[in-house]
Amino acid sequence: MLDYDLHCHSNVSDGTLTPTELVTRAAGREVKVLALTDHDAVSGLTEAAQVAAQYSIEFINGVEISVTWRKHTLHIVGLHIDPENPALAEGLRTIRSGRRHRAELMAESLARCGIGGVLEGALRYASNPDMIGRTHFARYMVEAGHCKDVRSVFNRYLVNGKPGYVPHDWTNLQDAISWIRASGGIAVLAHPGRYTAGRKAMGKTTLVELLKEFVELGGQGIEVVSGSHTPPQYAEFARYAKEFNLLSSCGSDFHGPEESYRDLGRLPDFPLECIPVWTSWEGKAV
Ligand code: AMP
Ligand code: MN
Ligand code: MN
Ligand code: MN
């Protein structure tokens, strides 16, 4: 079992726990090395690091950047970033500024289907109004009785092809990787098993093209063990890691006790051929 968890969310983005609650939970689940990777935001890192120190958890500054590549939305995790780096901070600010406008368009689109008041409702769930996202809409729509749980709201309303889905141009892959690297971080392709085109999984040819480009642009890691992956996918992405000479990362992608596939930590071991991403920083002064 791995006592590293390098991908999780607080209420700074779309998790439900505060950074303090999140780290406290991680400590209770024997996580030894934790990265907080909120979407497009780094404002939870200081608080999380302070609490981690109290529990002797090694804390890693992280972020999960939203990227548009071809027609796909991808997530790139940055590990060991410097949150104060001006290029990174400015880049993340630009991404966040697009979220409000997208939320307005989502609300208009849902209103046309007879579902009103969702922007105001969703904002109540967003501790950080400029981080408003689909998860906040989903939580409100459960509260308002449109669906029984968050997952069903996504499936019925918020995924590509459904009435509340609004295509959005996030940042490009090159910029996301270069901001992470400029800030001293390691760029990791998050949950590659989750990418889709519409409702179809990203084909192998496209995935290989993506991995080639990712490496050319300076990407160094790939999530092999993820809360979003099945065990056969651990093996599949371990093979890609080897083929593309990428370091392997692991993370629960925990968002909250009620909504996540996996709780924090206690992730299964990597397949044998993997080189853990932490070999790039352990033993070095960071
Ligand atoms: P956004 O960045 O606002 O488009 O929201 C993306 C977030 O929505 C992801 O990080 C997940 O937390 C969540 N999400 C995406 N797809 C689903 C799904 N099918 N079911 C539940 N949550 C999802
Ligand atoms: Mn999320
Ligand atoms: Mn993600
Ligand atoms: Mn995530």
What is d(CA 177, CA 142) in angstroms, rounded to the nearest whole number? 35
- Going by pLDDT thresholds of 50, 70 and 90, the confidence category of residue 267 is very high
219 lines ligand 1 (CB under 6 A): no
Nearest CA to ligand 1 atom 2: 133
Ligand 1 atom closest to the CA of 134, numbered from 1: 3
Between the CA of 237 and the centroid of ligand 1 the distance, in Å, is 21
Q: From ligand 4's centre to the CA of 32, what distance in Å?
A: 19
Does the beta carbon of 151 lie inside 6 Å of ligand 1?
A: yes
Report residue 185's pLDDT band, with 50, 70 and 90 as the boundaries: very high
Distance 114 CA to ligand 4 centre (A): 30
Rounded Cα gap, residues 243 and 231, in angstroms? 19
User: Under 8 Å CB-to-CB from 153, ≥6 apart: which residues?
Assistant: 137, 138, 141, 142, 146, 147
- Return the ligand number nearest the Cα of 152: 1
Model confidence at 284, in pLDDT bands (50, 70, 90)? low
Per DSSP, the residues of 102-163 read HHHHHHHHHHHTT--SHHHHHHHH-SSGGG--HHHHHHHHHHTTSSSSHHHHIIIIISTTST
Q: Is the CB of 255 inside a 6 Å radius of any atom of ligand 1?
A: yes
pLDDT value at position 200? 79
Ligand 1, closest atom to CA 14? Answer: 12
For residue range 96-136, list pLDDT tens digits in order: 999 999 999 999 999 999 999 999 999 999 999 999 999 99
Residues 6 or more apart in contact with residue 128 via CB below 8 angstroms: 11, 12, 13, 41, 43
Ligand closest to the CA atom of residue 135: 1
What pLDDT band is residue 213 in, cutting at 50, 70 and 90? very high
The torsion angle over the Cα atoms of residues 185, 191, 192 and 196, rounded to 10 degrees, is: -130
Please list the alpha-helical segments (H only) found in 154-259. 173-182, 204-216, 231-243
Separation of CA 135 and ligand 1 centre (Å) = 6
CA 8 – ligand 3 centroid, Å: 9
Q: What is the pLDDT of residues 11-67, one digit of tens each?
A: 999 999 999 999 999 999 999 999 999 999 999 999 999 999 999 999 999 999 999
* pLDDT at residue 142 in the model: 98
pLDDT band at 219 (very low <50, low <70, confident <90, very high): very high
- Specify the DSSP class assigned to residue 175: H
Mean predicted confidence (pLDDT) in 193-214 = 91
Helices (H) and strands (E) counted in the chain, each on its own, are 9, 9
Pocket test residue of 11, 101, 105, 135 for ligand 1, highest count of atoms within 8 A of CB: 135
Q: Whose CA is nearest to atom 4 of ligand 1?
A: 134
Give the closest residue (by CA) to ligand 1 atom 5: 134
> How close is the Cα of 22 to the center of ligand 1, in Å?
19
Whether residue 11 contacts residue 18, with contact meaning beta carbons closer than 8 Å, is answered with yes
| SS3 state of residue 96 | helix
Predicted confidence at residue 197, as pLDDT, reads 74
Distance (angstroms) between ligand 1 centre and the Cα of 194 equals 11
